[in-house]
Each structure stands twice: as C-alpha cells, then as structure tokens.
Structure 1
C-alpha cells in the first residue's frame, strides 16, 4: 500500500489541479444557468444545497420564496446534487409550466429523484397522446356510481379508526395523542380497501404497510442507491408494492370475467379492461395498451401515493384549523347533524354528502390554506423561453409552488375563511387559476373528487362523534415536510366521545 501511495505522489499536484478545475467548471455552469436569477452566489461542490434541503426543508423553501418575492421576478434558483433548480412562486409563471404550451417542454417528475423510485411505467411521467389515452381508461374509476361505492368503504374504515382513537385517548386519560401516524394508518387502510378491496389479505397488508413506510422514509433522503441505505430500501419496497398490486389486478380481471359487480376501484377499472381484452381476442388483435398487470400495478401505486400522503396532510390540517376556528367547527356540526345522525345506524349517502355544502367549502379551504403537496416538480426537456429576459436551460428541475399560488388573488388570503367558497362569493371560480392544489393542465389530479369526498366524510364523522382539543405548544402549528406538510407537533390532541353511541354498522 505504501509503495502505491509513493508511486502516486508525483501525480498529486495534477490530480489536485484537475479537481480544482472540475469545481471551477461546476460553479461556472451554475452561474451561467442562473444568469442573475436570485439564489446563492456559490454552491457546495456536487451536493449543492441538498443537505439544507434534507435537514430543514421548510426553511429551505421559505428562503427560496423570500428570494423570489424580494427580487420581484417571481422565481429563484438553487443547485441540488448536480442539478440546477428553479422555484416558481408566481401563479402565472407556474401556469406556463403546467400548460406545457410547447409540446413536451416540461415533463412532470413528481419528486426530484422520483423516477429512480417510481420506475418507468408510471402515470406521472407520461405525456402527450399516451397520457390522454390512459386517463380515458381511468375515467370509469371516478363516475358517480364508483364514488358512491367508495364512500361506503371510506366511512366504515373512518368509523373503525375513530373508535380506536377514542379508546386510545381514554387509556391515556389526560395526555394528548399524536394523530399523524394514526391518520396515516387510517388512510393507508382506506386506500388499500378502496383501491384493491378483497384482493389484499391481512398478511399482504402488513407487508404492504412495511414497504410503504420504507418508501415514505426514502422520499426524504439523498438518492444514495447503496445496500442498506434508506433510498435503496425505498426503491426495493416500491418494486414489491408494484408486484403486489399487479397480482391484485390479475385477480380482479378473473373476477370481472365472471360478470361480478365491482366492489372497489380496480374492479371498475378491470371491468372495462376485460371487455377490451375480449374484443381484441375476438378480432385476433394484440392486447390493447395499458392492460399489462405490472403496468396497472405501477399506475395503482401512483394512485396510492397521491391518496395516502396528501390525504393524511389534509386531515391533520382540518383538525388543526377546526380547533383554532370554533365558529367554523360549530357550523360544520350544525350542518352535518341536520342531515345525518349517527344514531340512524346508517352511512352518509351520496345525496346527503352532496347537501353538506358548508362542510365541502371547509374542505376546499383546508386544501387551499394548506395545500398538502406544496410543489409539483417538472424537468425542462428543452431550453424554454420563460420570461422576456430569462430562458430555462434544458435539464433544469422546475418547482411550481401550488402552496404559494394559494395565497395569491384570493380575498384576505392569509385568513382561513371557508365562506370564500360559498355560492355567494364563489372565489373557487373567480380565483380558479390560483387554486392549484390539485394541479393544472394535462396532469390535473384525476381523483380530486374522491380526495375531497374523503376529507368531507372525515370531518363530518370526526366533528360529530368526537370532542377534541389541540394540545397547544410553542410552534405546534408550524409546517414540516414528511414529505407532504403537517403540523410540527404531529397534531397532538385530546379526544373524548361526544355522541351517545357510535353507529352500529358492519365493520368486517
């Protein structure tokens, strides 16, 4: 070993000079792409500002927003793991990315390192006609009939978990309980049941939950794909999740071929897919696109990711905001109790859900005020003229901030005010371009009605069945990224039973 070091010693000055040259060229490349856009003047070699992003994401993005605002340009720059990035605060500039006015100018990536995690067969990476064709195939999953089927499943699971939360709180007596992980578990069971219903057994769900936790942890780590790292565990976990969901798709196809009625999302999807496959066989044609079980498993995982973490975020902020606005909570309770009673031993029907106008407005305001997925990362597939003075370089990761847009255009945007979505004020229509929590353009969230229904059902049952009070502590309502946003204290609450009894429903 010593002899090797001695033989390399003469090369040390050259290696050092070469390294300095590489670092110099990296800085020049960054500054050339930045071209006066507000952002750090110098960046740490290769990693850039990845460590501050991972350690303190809220502070990182707040700084980017402050730079974008103070400069008056509406966007700011930075550098992460060898990639130049732009943060976009201005709504109209964000729409330029979402609209993709030049075909394939921007590709949705969902997460800075998402493609390594999600794989190739993924809805969020599809563009153009292929993306349109797949979205058309997804339409049967969100018809009124399908949504009505889901609301029944959602309520049964919500009720089961609320009863568990109340029992847990009674055991803790005068101690608050953190809702974040409880809400996450409830939403994971809801997603599994709504999406793949009877095709995922108890043991499969336990394995599923472990793999999904690997995935969640990996989302917030550096993309170091080595054995034993959180990122590698996440990637392997996603592979297993997709294969599990592919088996569910295969089983659903077999059930739909027998003419059974759909009982979950994959059934509504496979019902039409089975018809198309049968028509192809009769015509002697190859199987239609997007009917492969593994591909379907990947698309199902996209749904799960979108429904799971964003929904958990919204539920936690709903509890937080209802507690801090007792007048809103009182109006929600009054409306729900005028339409539905837990003593009726019946579920909230689709018709009753439609009549809960104020609670629906509260749900929309929760999503506006605390947009769960604060940014929707895209990558520039080509040089793109962004403003009169700046062209986004090819390969740039662009972060349109739907969170920042939610505080632009609305009346008193910093105030939590569900009445802005009333029939009288209609700010959801007047400020439609600023309400970007579900995205915009070709990748507008296909399941937004499902997501809002889930939030309304949760608030209706939670507010009616339970009394609750937030455990207030310094900074408890500050925003943290996990990876969607939630209260800093994990939403610590005191809970107790409010109604005489819970609805007596089949919970099997």
Structure 2
C-alpha cells in the first residue's frame, strides 16, 4: 500500500491542473462580463481586489471613480471574492438603478448580509404594492404636526448631551473625538422621538447595550455561530424588536383612550387605531389589516431607529469639520440663530422659527451634498439589466450607484463648500435635483428626510451658539473613512469651550 505522501505527490499535477483550469475559467468569466469597459484587466484568483478594498476602502473607491472618469460611459467594473461589481459614477445611470428596484431588476442591499440581520420583511427589501401600502401607512409619522412634536424632543436631548460634553475633564483644553458622543446622543434622541414615554430608564439602558451589539455585528463577518459578533447582532435585533413591540402595544392602548400623541409611535398608532376601528377586518375579528401587528410594527420601528443613526452621526461630524474650516459660514450661522435662540434662554426653537433659519438649513443641505453620508447604495442585479445601449449588467452583479460622485456633478463649482447654492436666489437643489441623491430617489427615497434635516439644523444651531470650538488638526484628519457611512478619519477631534453662560 502506497504511503499518503506518495499519493499526494502523484495527485499534485492533477490538482494543479484543475486549479489552473478553474482560475482560467474565472478570468474568462470576468473578462466576458467586463468586455472593453473600464476596470482591471486581470484579477487575483478567487479573492479579486478584496485585499485593496479591506486595506484602504477610500483609496479603492477613488480608483474605481478614476477608472469611471477615464471614459464617457459613466461606470467601471471590478471583482471581489467571486462577485462581479459595477461602480456607477453617472447620476443618470444611478437614477436608473434607483428607479428599477423590483424583483426582475435590482434588489436593494444597503448593507452586506443585511437580510440575515434585519429579516426578509424589512421595508428595505419590499417592492410593489406591499411596499407602497407600508409607505402610505408611515406617512402620518412625518406630517408638520408630528415633526413639530419631535423638534421639542430633539432639542432637549441635544442640549442635555452638549452640556454633559462641556463637563468632561477634556473640555476647554484637550481635544476629544465627537464620533461616539454624537452616536450616543443620536441613539437617545431616536429613542425619545420614536417611542418616548414607553421606555423606562432600565429598559433604555438595556436597549443601548443591545443596539451596541447590533452595531458591532454590522461590519463583522457573517459567521452565524454562538460567540461571534454577527450571531450576537442577530440575537440583539430580536430582543430589540421584542422591546419595541411592548412599546407599540402600550401606544395602541394610549391612543385608543384618546390621548394626544407624544412621539412617533403615537402618531402611527393613532392612525392605525382609527383605521382598524372602522375596518371590516377589525369588526369581524377575522384578521387584522396588513402592517398592524405589534411585532411587525416593532420591526419597522427598528428600521427607523437604525436609519437615523449611522448616517445622521456622520453628518453631524462633517458639519463641525466644515464649519471649523469655513469661519465665514460659521459666523453667518451664529448671527442667524441668535435672532431666534440663545443658550441663556429657557425657550426652545419652534417649528415656525426653524423654518425661518434658511441659511442654517442651507448649510445642513450643503453638508449632506458635500459629504453624502451614505456614499453608495449597493444593489444586486436580480436579472440581466441593460444599463446602457452598449452594456448589460449581468445577473448577480453587485451594483454601487455612487451618491457621493453625483454630488459633484452639475452643481456650480461643486468642489467648493458653498451653502449659498441652496438659498432662494440660486436653488441648486432644484436646478440640479437629478444630482442631489443623498436621500435616494424613486420608491425607496428616504421617508424621514425632513426629520433628518431638522435634526442637523438644530444640532448646528445649538452647537455653534453654545460652544467655541476648534478642530485638532493632524495628518489626514479630514480624509474620508468608510464605516460604512463616511466619517472624518479622526472621528472629528475638537476642543470645545462655552461661548456664554448656560
């Protein structure tokens, strides 16, 4: 009987031949999909360009952009761990992808392995009539009356956190990163705005701990085994939804008694209670209308909470970064806000006053344009899709429409931070609307964009009025870091001090 080493030596040429054949097929498949369009001519077997992506995501996407700019087709291609990818720079082509989210075209991904974390019933993955019905049911959450209620809640939490920042030992003299401080502030703001009085202090602490587990699992490898971050995140999502389902039930009870809405879930339940009270399904008790069960509603509430975290935190940091480097803009913001609010006042900014702060809102819109937090919105091609007359995206390809790249197309002097572009005399957000894709477009356009802008305006107004601040400058501190929203690389380190007595 031959020894194992001898057998292996005998098999080696055959193994190498099979491996070489598989590699050859892989390269041929890639080149067939790539054709003559911009992209690397050869890719590393099996892994593709994942190493350069993992090592420096910013550089990787800059290279993709440069390749897309090298021709007039508006896109480039690449290959990552067995998946063919298409990076889209052209605003027109990006809008084409956004407008064709449906089972036989593109499937929205947003986050890798998101379906495993969020579940198939998540609003991100819905299409057709089901998606339209759910969006229609969500509409009462973002009426002017509802937004006015949220504005008060937002301000109270923002002020609470900012006053705690100035009490930190590092304040006044030492720089500290704002990233995690803003994240914690946003999480508490979302909790209060969305489910307000229905979370006790104890459940709020548990909620924060569970959400941190979820956040850690977002960027982890999808290893669904005990002890791994991804499994911990899945379990955390289940527990978070259970907690929110209790809040939904409590809100339904309160709205049935005729109380006034005090938070987002109340506005939602008020409408659902009204609908179910008059529906035949409710009268016969045979079945409830769609999207009205407490667990399902809790899942959608979690979607709102998640959507309001990462991107919003990134925008707050870029606002501080850009205001520090543009003192003339900062001064105009402070003058405008001072007309309506000061730190010494015990009054809050009203909804009407917020609408009058047009320049501060223009600053917020320009921050979102200049540093679109969700820089790319990944989709998967469910079928072959004709992107242009000369190119069809192959089924299974991951498509990256670049919101970031669109933001620097069409606008006047687009690489300049210039809030005046959004003032009434220029209105570039309408003139170049096709390039302003930060909140998406089409059926999946962000339903809470007015809420997000209000939050950024309130933060800018209060932060600049309450604090004198200075960015701590280090090499590369303002470079973009993908986490997966885009952040300043240093987490926005600042030195803050009070401008006036609080």
TM-score by length of 1: 0.93
Q: Secondary structure at the match of 1:112?
A: coil
- 8 Å contact 2:103–2:382 — kept in the other structure? no
The residue number in structure 2 matching 1:42 is 42
- 8 Å contact 1:104–1:128 — kept in the other structure? no
- Aligned mates of 2:189, 2:56 — CA distance in 1: 31
The CA deviation at 1:80 is: 2.4
- 8 Å contact 1:54–1:221 — kept in the other structure? no
Q: Aligned in 2, Cα 1:101/1:246: closer, same or farther, shift over 3 Å?
A: closer
- 8 Å contact 2:172–2:496 — kept in the other structure? no
Q: Deviations over 1:98-120 (max 9, x none)?
A: 11188741121112322222211
Q: Aligned in 2, Cα 1:55/1:260: closer, same or farther, shift over 3 Å?
A: farther
The CA deviation at 1:411 is: 0.4
Query: Is 1:162 paired with 2:162?
Result: yes
Q: Aligned in 2, Cα 1:101/1:458: closer, same or farther, shift over 3 Å?
A: closer
The residue number in structure 1 matching 2:109 is 109
The residue number in structure 1 matching 2:412 is 411
The residue number in structure 2 matching 1:291 is 292
The residue number in structure 1 matching 2:66 is 66
The residue number in structure 2 matching 1:25 is 25
The residue number in structure 1 matching 2:180 is 181
- 8 Å contact 1:379–1:397 — kept in the other structure? yes
The residue number in structure 2 matching 1:347 is 348
Q: Deviations over 1:70-90 (max 9, x none)?
A: 133211112223221111011
- 8 Å contact 1:58–1:481 — kept in the other structure? yes
- 8 Å contact 1:374–1:403 — kept in the other structure? yes
The residue number in structure 2 matching 1:505 is none
Which of 307-316 and 229-238 deviates more? 229-238
Q: Aligned in 2, Cα 1:216/1:146: closer, same or farther, shift over 3 Å?
A: same
- Aligned mates of 2:274, 2:282 — CA distance in 1: 10
- Aligned mates of 2:179, 2:9 — CA distance in 1: 56
- Aligned mates of 1:481, 1:202 — CA distance in 2: 33
**1:137-156 paired onto structure 2 within 5 Å:** 137-156=137-156
The residue number in structure 1 matching 2:303 is 302
The residue number in structure 2 matching 1:215 is 214
The CA deviation at 1:286 is: 1.6
The residue number in structure 1 matching 2:481 is 480
Q: Aligned in 2, Cα 1:68/1:422: closer, same or farther, shift over 3 Å?
A: same
The residue number in structure 1 matching 2:464 is 463
- 8 Å contact 1:479–1:487 — kept in the other structure? yes
Q: Aligned in 2, Cα 1:106/1:315: closer, same or farther, shift over 3 Å?
A: same
**1:185-334 paired onto structure 2 within 5 Å:** 185-278=184-277, 279=279, 280-334=281-335
- Aligned mates of 1:213, 1:80 — CA distance in 2: 29
The CA deviation at 1:472 is: 1.2
The residue number in structure 2 matching 1:450 is 451
- 8 Å contact 2:101–2:127 — kept in the other structure? no
- Aligned mates of 1:5, 1:212 — CA distance in 2: 52
- Aligned mates of 1:58, 1:300 — CA distance in 2: 32
- Aligned mates of 1:447, 1:198 — CA distance in 2: 21
- Aligned mates of 2:205, 2:44 — CA distance in 1: 41
Which of 236-245 and 419-428 deviates more? 236-245
The residue number in structure 1 matching 2:121 is 121
For structure 2, list consecutive stretches of 5 or more residues without a partner in the other structure.
none
- Aligned mates of 1:224, 1:300 — CA distance in 2: 26
Q: Deviations over 1:168-213 (max 9, x none)?
A: 1x55552111101100100011111111112222232223223322
Q: Aligned in 2, Cα 1:25/1:241: closer, same or farther, shift over 3 Å?
A: farther
- Aligned mates of 1:401, 1:456 — CA distance in 2: 25
The CA deviation at 1:23 is: 3.1
Q: Aligned in 2, Cα 1:435/1:257: closer, same or farther, shift over 3 Å?
A: same
Q: Aligned in 2, Cα 1:32/1:247: closer, same or farther, shift over 3 Å?
A: farther
The CA deviation at 1:216 is: 2.5
- Aligned mates of 2:409, 2:171 — CA distance in 1: 42
- Aligned mates of 1:405, 1:493 — CA distance in 2: 30
Q: Deviations over 1:468-493 (max 9, x none)?
A: 11111111111111221111111111
Q: Aligned in 2, Cα 1:69/1:142: closer, same or farther, shift over 3 Å?
A: same
Q: Aligned in 2, Cα 1:153/1:448: closer, same or farther, shift over 3 Å?
A: same
- 8 Å contact 1:54–1:220 — kept in the other structure? no
For structure 1, list consecutive stretches of 5 or more residues without a partner in the other structure.
502-508
Q: Aligned in 2, Cα 1:204/1:283: closer, same or farther, shift over 3 Å?
A: same
Q: Aligned in 2, Cα 1:286/1:33: closer, same or farther, shift over 3 Å?
A: same
Which of 219-228 and 123-132 deviates more? 219-228
Which of 440-449 and 264-273 deviates more? 264-273
TM-score by length of 2: 0.94
The residue number in structure 1 matching 2:373 is 372
Q: Secondary structure at the match of 2:388?
A: coil
- Aligned mates of 1:13, 1:300 — CA distance in 2: 58
- Aligned mates of 1:26, 1:294 — CA distance in 2: 44
The CA deviation at 1:321 is: 0.7
- 8 Å contact 1:106–1:378 — kept in the other structure? yes
Which of 222-231 and 362-371 deviates more? 222-231
Which of 258-267 and 429-438 deviates more? 258-267
- Aligned mates of 2:245, 2:379 — CA distance in 1: 27
- 8 Å contact 1:216–1:483 — kept in the other structure? no
Query: Is 1:90 paired with 2:72?
Result: no
